[in-house]
């Protein structure tokens, strides 16, 4: 007779490092191995002959869950598996893989066998890796975000605007844009220095954001120029927004000697089939007209 037939199953199961249990067709425990006793800090005599509802080391919720699942397994014959946290030796919480399945013997009797595999160390490593991945994803997102933000004004930069413009063109959604330029900005820098010039730029930025909807995009286009992208907006709406911004800046932004800062603006609405460059060029031409017409005004193109 070969060795497989001479070794008792209880001996095999008791040598296994993972908790093993067997229930009969009445869902009463007929076997638990040494690893099971160690894990739950119990003796087999406290378990054998009982069903899970009679065990005092499990919570009421757990008892009813295991009993209900065991009944379903006996009825349908499906293997069930879960990842649970168990109180190991009554001291520490361990994450474990729990599975149980129906078996049928040659004489037709059947029951349930279950195994609990301690994956606590692996679970901690997975959690650590997940945390690292979330950190990497967050840092990547921050880098991507910073690459799209102007560091002085905290508005979007030219690159972010160009990207958004191309997406709008591809989507075929109507939009308008507003191009603004600070009047006599070189004079501000020459008279008061670049620190004061930067201060003016920073004061204008929140005014642009204040008069922008959530879906609008306010950008520093370069130097003392700003541009706003207004998805779904017609030219008359863009012109009204530009006028509100112009008045607000003139009223609230000043040079150190108290003189008002003003802006000129050009507005354009995207035409069907028009390129992104073209719609911006028309806004730029309108801005030039505003400058040539005396500044501190809004023109359309």
pLDDT at 145: 64
DSSP-based three-state secondary structure for 234: coil
pTM above 0.75, yes or no: no
Which residues make Cβ contacts (< 8 Å) with residue 113, sequence separation at least 6?
20, 21, 22, 23, 100, 101, 103
Tell which residue, 198, 283, 217, 207, has the closest CA to residue 247: 207
Tell which residue, 295, 197, 198, has the closest CA to residue 250: 295
pLDDT at 1: 38
pLDDT at 299: 96
Q: Which residue has the tokens 């920073």?
A: 202
pLDDT at 127: 82
Q: Domain 148-300: which topology?
A: Alpha-Beta Plaits (3.30.70)
Question: Which positions are annotated as active-site residues?
Answer: 224
pLDDT by 10-residue block (mean), the chain, 301 residues: 54 89 93 92 92 91 92 89 86 90 88 92 84 80 74 92 92 94 94 93 95 93 95 95 96 92 96 93 96 95 87
pLDDT at 143: 65
Which residues make Cβ contacts (< 8 Å) with residue 139, sequence separation at least 6?
none
Architecture of domain 3-123: 2-Layer Sandwich (3.30)
Structure tokens that stand for 130 in this block: 């997940």
Cα–Cα distance for residue pair 31/297, rounded to 1 Å: 89
By the 8 A CB rule, do 263 and 183 touch? yes
Read off the DSSP letter of residue 168: H
Give the max Cα distance, the chain.
109
Cα–Cα distance for residue pair 286/15, rounded to 1 Å: 86
pLDDT at 2: 47
Read off the DSSP letter of residue 270: P
What phi and psi values does residue 19 have, to the nearest 5 degrees? Answer: -60, 135
**Would you report the helix, strand and coil content of the chain in percent, each value rounded to 5?**
45, 25, 30
Cα–Cα distance for residue pair 84/97, rounded to 1 Å: 7
In the chain, where the domains are located: 3-123, 148-300
Dihedral sign, Cα of residue 199, residue 205, residue 206, residue 207: positive
């Amino acid at each position: 007779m070969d060795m497989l037939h001479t070794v008792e199953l209880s001996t095999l199961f008791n040598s296994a490092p993972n908790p093993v249990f067997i229930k009969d067709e009445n869902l009463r425990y007929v076997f638990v191995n040494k690893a099971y006793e160690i894990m739950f800090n119990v003796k087999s005599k406290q378990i054998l002959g009982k069903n899970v509802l009679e065990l005092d080391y499990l919570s009421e919720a757990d008892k009813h869950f295991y009993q209900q699942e065991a009944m379903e397994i006996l009825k349908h014959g499906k293997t069930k598996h879960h990842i649970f946290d168990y109180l190991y030796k009554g001291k520490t919480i361990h994450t474990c893989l729990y599975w149980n399945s129906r078996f049928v013997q040659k004489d037709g009797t059947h029951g349930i066998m279950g195994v609990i595999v301690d994956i606590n160390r692996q679970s901690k490593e997975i959690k650590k890796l997940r945390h690292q991945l979330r950190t990497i994803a967050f840092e990547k997102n921050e880098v991507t975000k910073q690459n799209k933000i102007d560091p002085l004004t905290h508005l979007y930069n030219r690159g972010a605007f160009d990207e958004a413009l191309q997406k709008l063109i591809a989507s075929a959604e109507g939009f308008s844009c507003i191009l603004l330029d600070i009047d006599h900005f070189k004079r501000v820098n020459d008279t008061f220095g670049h620190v004061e010039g930067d201060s003016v730029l920073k004061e204008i930025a929140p005014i642009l954001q204040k008069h922008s909807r959530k879906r609008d995009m306010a950008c520093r286009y370069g130097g003392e120029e700003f541009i706003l992208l207004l998805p779904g907006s017609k030219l008359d709406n863009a012109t009204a927004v530009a006028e509100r911004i112009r008045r607000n800046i003139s009223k609230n932004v000043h040079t150190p000697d108290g003189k008002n800062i003003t802006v000129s603006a050009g507005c354009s609405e995207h035409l069907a089939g028009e390129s992104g460059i073209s719609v911006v060029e028309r806004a730029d031409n309108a801005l030039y007209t505003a400058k040539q017409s005396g500044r501190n005004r809004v023109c359309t193109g």
